[in-house]
A and B are shown apart, each in its own frame.
Chain A
Amino acid sequence: MSRGKLPVVDDGGAPARAPAAFEAMLAGHGLELRAGAVEVLQVNVGKLCNQACKHCHVDASPRRTEIMTAEVADHVLEAVRRFRFPAVDITGGAPELNPQFRRLVSGSRAAGSRVIVRHNLTVLFEPGQEDLPEFFRDHEVEVVSSLPYFLGRETDSQRGPGVFDKSIEALGRLNAVGYGRGVGGLTLNLVYNPVGAFLPPPQASIEADFRRELLARHGVTFDRLYTITNMPIRRFLEYLRRSGNEERYMRRLVDAFNPAAVAGLMCRTTLSVDWRGRLYDCDFNQMLELPVVAGLPRTIGEFDPETFAGRVVETGAHCFGCTAGAGSSCGGAVLKT
């Protein structure tokens, strides 16, 4: 991957500026954002990644050293075993590079949770990761992989030179062990991110394009395509500022605010844990260091479902990214039609 030249990020930069306040927009539509029961525990094991994508809200790269320790992973697994979260969603960085990754997967599966891994495809070619397809298969992991477009030019311009070709090869290997074939329960979902400062197209429409083109051009298959809006955080926000697109993009998000998307926002059913074991309403709040609302326990070791049920979700200008158009979540568009 492109290890030499990484996008420059100003960690001390101000948050995105929107032409409206998210809370006021909700209130104007008579809405309030509160979380229900935790259905998905999303575990971000750290910022280490073999790639340095231009849109990454985590600012992950091969140079990052912040990763979850064995002790924190123990706390996560204790919570998974104790509270039986229906799903554990493991992300990063490239989560597979964390030495705790495989026991987080196997421990969560043993506890009965469905396990989702945000797998960037190219990590499969890193030393010691060659058996990942078989590991995923043996643990019935649901694989979610970013592929921003079905053409090389767009994909490489966002994710780095050569990423598209490696991604296609990795998809072939996942297909070969039974992923994305629509049978056998091995789920391989892809993620479309816009390659730039614009909203995603309708999910069903672009999914049909991906399915047709990837099969015709490369003979690879997948189950579903998720469209996810680029969030104005960290590296993508820096791109917006560098390219003079921040104001226009934020206005686009605000103008496209869709009150119908609010009920399905992922923060209502997800709890996010960072590499230190700290708790957030979502992975985006995590990157902004915006913890769960004051008064609640701050770490996974102190989590208690009763205390967290009905919590007020912390919001900011970035939340317009999840409510624009058909809405956006880690499971794709909020509104599927």
Chain B
Amino acid sequence: MFSNPHSAFRNPHSTGEYRTEMSYYEEEDLGRFGEMGRHRPDLFEKFMAWYQACQEDGALSRREKALIGLAVAHALQCPYCIDAYSQSCLESGSNLEQMTEAIHMASALRGGAALIHGLQAHNSVGKVSM
């Protein structure tokens, strides 16, 4: 439950109603991303132009970029991004095998990144050990 009328979550362009029930992540909020442009639209427009340019076919195809996006979304564990890039992967022709491989890549990197920090622990232990 969240109903503080002074909340920063208030949408000034909405009907004036406040949410009386919400969780931190709402599925429909993905479609409301554009509302972030209602304050400092200049910054949002610059972001969107850059973001959209990144999606286009270039040295990498849209499909490859969608798979990268899906992997990064999992590394960030952003539910909006996971939802959006799962759809993008399907709409660029990827299948579940390919998407799952991309997710494993993200997971492997996260695992490896954690594991290699074990050397810091070892170094730290070594520094104070006889």
Return chain B residues, CB-CB under 8 Å to A199.
91
The A/B interface has a contact count, at CB < 8 Å, of: 27
* Chain A residues whose C-beta falls within 8 Å of the C-beta of B61 in the assembled complex: 205
Q: At the interface, yes or no: B87 with Cβ under 8 Å from chain A?
A: yes
Please give the residue numbers on chain A whose beta carbons come within 8 Å of chain B beta carbons, in ascending order.
149, 151, 153-154, 194, 196, 198-202, 205-206, 209, 251
Taking a contact as CB atoms closer than 8 A, the residue among B31, B62, B91, B95 that contacts A198 in the complex is B91
Task: Determine the distance from Cα of A251 to Cα of B95 in the docked complex, in whole angstroms.
Answer: 23
Give the distance in Å from the alpha carbon of A71 to the alpha carbon of B96 in the complex.
Answer: 49
Contacting residues, chain B, for A200 (C-beta < 8 A): 91
Closest-CB distance, A55 to chain B (whole angstroms): 14
Contact partners of A153 in chain B: CB under 8 A: 96
Residues of A within 8 A of B63 (CB): 201, 205
Chain B contacts for A198, CB-based, 8 A: 87, 90-91
CB-based contact A202/B92 at 8 Å: yes
Q: Report whether B93 and A209 are in contact in the complex, using a CB–CB cutoff of 8 Å.
A: yes
Q: Which residue of A lies closest to B94 (CB)?
A: A201
Chain B 84-106 interface mask (CB, 8 Å, partner A; 1/0): 00010011110110000000000
Report whether B93 and A201 are in contact in the complex, using a CB–CB cutoff of 8 Å: yes
Return 6 A-B CB contacts under 8 Å, by A number: A194-B90, A194-B91, A198-B90, A201-B90, A201-B91, A209-B93
| Contacting residues of chain B (61-95) with chain A, CB-CB under 8 angstroms | 61-63, 87, 90-93, 95
- How far does the alpha carbon of A202 sit from the alpha carbon of B61 in the complex, in Å? 11
Residues of B within 8 A of A201 (CB): 63, 90-93
Given contacts A206-B93, A209-B93, 10 further A-B contacts (CB under 8 A): A151-B95, A154-B95, A196-B90, A198-B91, A199-B91, A200-B91, A201-B92, A202-B92, A205-B61, A205-B63
Determine the distance from Cα of A200 to Cα of B94 in the docked complex, in whole angstroms. Answer: 11
How far does the alpha carbon of A151 sit from the alpha carbon of B95 in the complex, in Å? 9
- 8 Å CB contacts to A: which residues of B5-33? 31
State how many angstroms separate the Cβ of A150 from the closest Cβ of chain B: 9
> Which residues of B sit under 8 angstroms from A209, Cβ to Cβ?
93
CB-nearest residue of chain A to B92? A201
Name the B residues within 8 Å of A194 (CB-CB). 90-91
User: Within the assembled complex, what's the spacing in Å between the Cα atoms of A76 and B90?
Assistant: 40
- Tell whether, in the assembled complex, residue A205 and residue B93 are in contact, meaning their CB atoms are under 8 Å apart: yes
Determine the chain B residues whose CB is within 8 A of the CB of A206 once the complex forms.
93
Residues of B within 8 A of A149 (CB): 95
Docked Cα-Cα span, A196 to B86, in Å, equals 12
